[in-house]
Amino acid sequence: MIKDPDYLFEKAKMKEADEKDKVRDSKTETVVADVFDKKKQKSIFSKKINQYNKPIILSLLGCLFAAIVGCANPVFGGLMIKAIFVMLFLQPSEYS
């Protein structure tokens, strides 16, 4: 039985691709090993955050003000929607 030459070529290419995948996966595992290590996860996160914010208090202040803005914006949005509905239901002669 003679095999199709295209089949043999595809099989060789697949084997080559599998070898490349194994090499890439081994490189990825060595790079990401620290991320999956439970003991080193906290230190990696702290290093990433603290490299941009040397005084750590700035990170805490940023989180605090983001929470304040996150609570305040829905309130202002509700007030704006109420004002828009009031303007929709008034006649033009009433507010001009």
CB–CB of 53/59 below 8 Å? yes
Nearest to 9 by CA among 64, 1, 17, 71: 17
CA distance 10 to 17: 10
Percent of the chain with pLDDT over 90: 8
CB–CB of 21/29 below 8 Å? no
pLDDT digits (tens, 9 = 90+) for 63-91: 899 999 898 888 889 999 998 888 888 77
Give the pLDDT score at 64.
92
∠ CA 46-49-65 to the nearest 5 degrees?
120
Mean pLDDT of all residues in the chain?
Answer: 80
Which tops the pLDDT comparison, 35 or 94? 35
- Residue 29: count other Cβ atoms within 10 Å of its Cβ: 10
